[in-house]
Amino acid sequence: MTRWYSERKSEHFYKEAKRDGYRSRSAFKLKQIQKKYRILKKGDIVIDLGAAPGGWSQVAKEIVGDEGVVLGIDLSPIKPIRGVTFLQGDMTKESSLQELIESMEEKKANAVISDMSPNISGNYDVDHARSIYLCEQAFITASTFLKLGGNFLCKVFEGKELPRFLKEVKNSFGLVKKFSPPASRKSSSEIYVIAKSFKKN
């Protein structure tokens, strides 16, 4: 029954995304996170890591409005979204970080959000370790670009390395929470780390 419900719920959010013009069902995850934690606000500068196919960038742009800026980056090419700038790059590479620095033109971001996910190997320990690695890269990006008081959000797979990562994030933010949005599959091990009020540049 649980699996049936989870599959139906997944199908529901997929259909909702199609109906509302979002490129992915994950758009609803960001909407639910935003409703609870207010990660983004009008006029913000937002960096969206692992942005393809663009669902989170769509939601972020709706929230920040015409006065705000959304800059998305991903390994894969992304079809244009009005008002959003995309870079094609690998955030685990220094060259991509440098390209992002140049694109930001010395501006600081109000929020860094990451829905990056590793290629699934089927070995949970390996997938968890890869997920933590991507979160660490996202955290480096956040530490590089965030304004004081800025916010950070990243997806991670639960596992033994998560407490260590959370401790690291807590050293740099005033509030750190774990959250599983309703749009996530019940069977999924993914959660989101919400970090607010960046304390140091």
Contacts of 62 (CB under 8 A, 6+ apart): none
Instruction: Judge whether residue 15 has pLDDT over 80.
Output: no
Q: What is the tens place of the pLDDT at every residue in 50-102? A: 999 999 999 999 999 999 999 999 999 999 999 999 999 998 888 888 889 88
CB within 8 Å of 57: residues ≥ 6 apart? 48, 51, 70, 72, 78, 81, 84, 86
- Give the model's confidence band at 106: pLDDT under 50 very low, under 70 low, under 90 confident, else very high: confident
How far apart, in Å, are the Cα atoms of 131 and each of 31, 137, 145?
22, 10, 21
Which residues are marked as active site?
155
Q: What is the pLDDT of residue 23?
A: 56
pTM: 0.89
Given a cut of 90, whether residue 8 has pLDDT beyond it is no
Range of the domain at 36: 2-198
The pLDDT of 182-188, averaged and rounded, is 78
Number of domains in the chain: 1
Q: Looking at residue 80, which CATH number applies to its domain?
A: 3.40.50.150
Pair of tokens at residue 68:
């705000």
- DSSP letter string, 52-114: TT-HHHHHHHHHHTTTSEEEEEESS-----TTEEEEE--TTSHHHHHHHHHHHTT--EEEEEE
Residue 20 confidence class, pLDDT cut points 50, 70, 90: low
In the 8-state DSSP scheme, what is residue 122? S
> If we measure between CA atoms, which residue out of 111, 104, 107, 105 comes closest to residue 41?
111
Q: 20 in the Ramachandran plot: left (φ > 0), alpha (ψ -120 to 50) or beta? A: alpha
Structure tokens, 175:
């509030």
